[in-house]
Chains A and B, each alone.
Chain A
Amino acid sequence: MRESKMRRFKINKYSPFYSLLQGIWEQKVARVGMYILLAIIIFCLIGVFWTPYNPNSTQFPRDLPPSPKHWLGTDDYGHDVFSQLLVGGFPVIGVGLLTGLIGTLISIFIGISAGLYADTLVDRILSGITQIFLVIPGILIIELIGAYLGAEQIKLGYITILIALSTTGWAWGARVLRSLVLPLRRREYILSSELIGESKLSIVVRQIIPNNLPFIASNFFFTAIYGIAGFTFIYYFGLGSLTQVNWGTLLYWSLGGEAYLRGLWWWYIPPGLMIGLVALSFALINIGIDRVANPRLRVDNKKYKKMLSEIKKRRKEEEVIEWTK
């Protein structure tokens, strides 16, 4: 009894998920990305338990430059910037990752159903919707919605931002997935599963998704980058809710205070840098996944250089032979 339970939790080394993870881990680029992400998450975790000062208190002198007392100085309103930076990370990372997750789920659903039912009415409608979202930038639509909500004094909260970003960020993934599924559904093993009587859902879950796992993983991080960029854009245009401290609100206030014209670099560079680093870590992992999915992108410069030098050596030998003739 116990043994069978143990067996269930054993890692299946041949599962596509495990091999993908292993492949990503082998890519140096992706590993660097994961270390950066891990460091940022630890930084934010520290913020949950400890900050040098209360991030919401405005008791400090204004516009102090960085000093041992205030590591990143204070802002126009007398906040300690470093405390705010510690506290404000998780909303950004969370919105980014969840946008990636929900957006990818939507693109899996729409892309695979469009691909499976290609050339039917379902496919036409789904592909049409995908095209619209592809051509008309999602951030533009969100800004329009935010502007109209602004008339009602409504600012976008985290949940609204998350919904808005994930419902506009799925289109690229859906289109590529559709084109990946199209040749797949004519393959023998899918046809034979259909003939055996396997249901469509089961084919999708057990054959189509595992086969396209590298692309889905890469799409996850791609959408997550979109989520983070969208998050900062929403705050940049002043459409986001300002009740909680996060890196977006920090940027918003520093912009409003014209920090960049007054030399208050410690107010806007740290949050910008942190947002940039989170997105960078996603992008690096994404490059690693690309290399797993497309082996021709893998860098084997040593092999290539060795081949080159061999060719050159051979040429020289040939020249010598020709010359001696």
Chain B
Amino acid sequence: MRKDYIIKRGIYYVIIWFIGISLDFILPRLIPGNVLGTIIYGRIGGNLSAYGQNVQQEIETLVQQLGLSQYYHTPLYIQYFDFLKDIIRLNFGPSLTEFPISVGKIIAEAAPWTFMIVIPAVVAAFFIGNLLGRSAALHRGGIRDYVILGGTMFLYTFPVFVTGEILIEFLAVDLHIFPTGGQYNTFIFLKPTFSLPFIWSVIYHAILPVLTLVLFSLAGWIIGMRNNMIPILQEDYMNYYRLMGVPERVISSKAYRLALLPNFTSFSIALGYSVLGAVAIEYLFNYAGLGYFFNQAITGLDYPLLNGIFFMLVTAMVLSNFVADIIYGIIDPRTSKEETEGE
């Protein structure tokens, strides 16, 4: 029965993924104007006269070089099949802003850096947030509750990149504790190497972006934990423990473990959303991950790169939701049963 549930969910998410990546195909064609023309103009527009008579030929070779023939006037369904073929082969063509380098190569180099800051940030936020949420729930209505809840709500609603800007200005520019940006010290290390000082440099450079992401995502865990734990603390079986004389410390740890369960299922979804958060702050920290190139693609009108990164982000979101569903099915077997029986 469980295998059935996983397969069903899998098909479901494949459909959603399919529609998501198709947006990549549909949107540029719905928008008025000629995207291809803009791209060509961006590349040769400045020195159009230099090409003289051969403009038409030059344009055609450029189209071939850039792999943009999909925008030519072939029938839509053929364009769509070409698009799908390219995506399944992970072939997005060369990037326009970093011209000869292919989009696939840029993404392959950028994605590990994004995970470098996203995974530690989500893990740290999970632990710190749950512990703070527990503390808020145990002291509910007290000063500690208000400070924790108010402080993290404020951090959560504060635009995440402004938090990053403040951290950079005060910790990096004014106090010189951390570097202002980059993934590692490019003055010492010209290329990534596997040595201890290099790894230390990578960690050192990742601290500020990770801190920004943690501050941003803390509130979700805290509120989740607090809202799960307060009702559990008031349950009859908890009162029964108290009547038996079980110390409050033991009771709170029991309630904590019960309240942790729903938070586990949100873990993978939080991973997906933190990738989005990273997209927002990487540009700020000059951190050449997916977000950095996403920003570059938007400002530089680099559509192949934009497509590639959009594809990566959609895939990340769909995967994280799928994993969350599977975890939820394992933790709470009722969901997988209900689904297979059809509501």
Contact = CB atoms under 8 A, between A and B. Distances in A.
B276 A147 contact: no
Contact of A136 (B231, B299, B317): B317
A301 B141 contact: yes
A177 interface: no
10 contacts: A119-B342, A135-B20, A136-B23, A147-B297, A151-B39, A261-B173, A275-B159, A287-B149, A297-B231, A300-B141
A304 interface: yes
A152 B33 contact: yes
Contact of A251 (B159, B233, B299): B159
Interface residues of B, number: 68
Nearest to B37: A151
A119 B141 CA distance: 43
B276 A301 contact: no
Given A132-B19, A272-B158, A150 B301 contact: yes
Contacts of A137: 273, 276, 313, 317
A144 B280 CA distance: 14
A320 interface: no
Interface of B: 12-13, 15-16, 19-20, 23-24, 27-28, 31-33, 35, 38-39, 139-142, 145, 149, 153-154, 156-159, 161-162, 165-166, 168-169, 173-174, 180, 223, 227, 230-231, 233-234, 239, 242-243, 245, 248, 273, 276, 280, 284, 294-295, 297-299, 301, 303, 306, 310, 313-314, 317-318, 321, 342-343
Nearest to B142: A301
Given A135-B317, A260-B168, A260-B173, A276 B38 contact: no
A43 interface: no
A141 B162 contact: no
Interface of A: 118-119, 128, 131-132, 135-137, 139-141, 143-152, 225, 228-229, 232-233, 236-239, 251, 255, 259-261, 263, 265, 268-269, 272-273, 275-277, 279-280, 282-284, 287, 290, 296-297, 299-302, 304, 307-308, 311, 315
Contacts of A268: 162, 165
A279 B157 contact: yes
A192 to B, nearest CB: 24
A105 to B, nearest CB: 24
B31 A261 contact: no
Given A272-B166, A296-B231, A311-B243, 18 more contacts: A119-B343, A131-B16, A136-B20, A136-B317, A137-B273, A137-B313, A146-B298, A147-B298, A148-B28, A238-B298, A261-B173, A273-B158, A275-B159, A276-B159, A276-B162, A277-B157, A283-B153, A300-B141
Return the 7 tightest CB-CB contacts between A and B, nearest first.
A272-B162, A279-B157, A301-B141, A260-B165, A276-B158, A299-B141, A151-B38
Contacts of B313: 137, 140
A144 B245 CA distance: 59
B38 A139 contact: no
B24 to A, nearest CB: 7
Contacts of B276: 137, 139-140
B227 A297 contact: yes
Contact of B161 (A255, A273, A300): A255
Contacts of A280: 153-154, 157-158
B343 to A, nearest CB: 6
Contacts of A151: 33, 35, 38-39, 301
Main secondary structure of the interface of B (DSSP, over half): helix
Contacts of A277: 157
A228 B35 CA distance: 30
A280 B162 CA distance: 15
Contacts of B162: 251, 268-269, 272-273, 275-276
A150 B28 CA distance: 11
Nearest to B301: A151
B321 A261 contact: no
Contact of B306 (A139, A147, A282): A147
A300 B233 CA distance: 12
Point out which of B31, B145, B248 has the most chain A C-beta atoms below 10 A from its C-beta: B31
B157 A276 contact: yes
B318 A269 contact: no
Nearest to A281: B157
Nearest to B164: A260
B297 A284 contact: no
B301 A135 contact: no
Contacts of A225: 157
Contacts of A301: 139-142
Nearest to A296: B231
Contacts of B15: 128
A279 B166 CA distance: 18
Contacts of A146: 298
A72 B317 CA distance: 41
Given A132-B19, A272-B162, A276-B158, A145 B321 contact: no
B159 A229 contact: yes
B295 A260 contact: no
Nearest to B320: A135
B322 to A, nearest CB: 9
Given A132-B20, A135-B13, A260-B168, A152 B234 contact: no
Nearest to A299: B141
A279 B163 CA distance: 15
B182 to A, nearest CB: 13
A316 to B, nearest CB: 10
Contacts of B13: 135
A184 to B, nearest CB: 15
Nearest to A272: B162
A260 B169 contact: yes
B35 A148 contact: yes
Contact of A265 (B24, B139, B169, B223): B169
